[in-house]
Amino acid sequence: IEAATLEDVAEFFEAYYVPNNAVLTVCGDFTRNEALRLIERHFAEIPQGKEIPPIPGEPELDATIGSTIRECVRAEVPLPRVIMAFRIPPYTDSRFHTADVASAVLGTGRASRLYRSLVRERREAKDVISMAFPLTTGAGILLLWATGFPDGDPAALEAALSREVEGLVTVRENEIERAVSVTETHLVREVEQVGQRADLISMFDQLFDDPSRINKEIGRMREVSPKDVSTFSEDFLGTNNRAVLTYMPE
């Protein structure tokens, strides 16, 4: 980012932010003819753009990074925090939905493993979070973190995170049901908002040439089983596929 020039940014914008690389989705209470009239009025004069260059980045990466990578940073932060990241299949891979459910089992909501163990029972962390980032080029990322207390030991915090991650090789059916329910609720709330609905339809059309995929996401999540999560954990959440960043107050 620091090496990017204004010219670099302008060239990127002109290459990719053009009509022949865009999906326009209109959601709301309108008539088709009126919508088309307004689209023509506001967008017709924009040049189509040149042929789209290849997307930057590596289209294929090894399944794992091959080791544990560590970095410790001292900065002006109020509390210590341990951030743990794992390389996972990209959003275009069917296993991403398993990653999403596994992430919810670990760290979504007060009934999740991380919150229940680290925050409520053992009081090893002030807060926890887990999320799967739906990246499409190369790989996705499963990220989780725990924020410690002022006098907390970051090594102990990392060990606590590792304990819960490694325990995910065994998962119960009711945990999967809760995680799927939480993930479904999040998606339904997004679709209820007109702007978010338009974004999702555009995204599915752009990535999969299938805007109707928005209607299939819940079904894909409901197909995830405890065995799927267990296999995913063994394949992607080991010490051979882990980056650990520790933030410490100065």
Low-confidence stretches of the chain (pLDDT < 50) are none
**Residues facing residue 141 across a β-bridge:** 87, 133
Residue-level pLDDT at 129: 95
Residue-level pLDDT at 98: 97
Angle between helices 173-192 and 96-107 (to 10 degrees): 100
Q: Is 156 helix (H, G, I), strand (E, B) or coil?
A: helix
Phi, psi (5° rounding) for residue 86? -130, 140
Same domain, 139 and 80: yes
Same domain, 72 and 154: yes
In a domain, 29, yes or no: yes
In a domain, 61, yes or no: no
pTM of the model: 0.88
Residue-level pLDDT at 56: 76
Residues 91-114: b if buried by 16+ CB within 10 A, e if exposed: beeebbbbbbbbbbbbbbeeebbb
Cα 136 to Cα 185: distance, rounded to the nearest angstrom: 23
Read off the DSSP letter of residue 60: B
In a domain, 60, yes or no: no
- Domain with 18, as residue range(s), is 6-43
Same domain, 25 and 97: no
Q: How many CB atoms lie within 10 A of CB 165?
A: 23
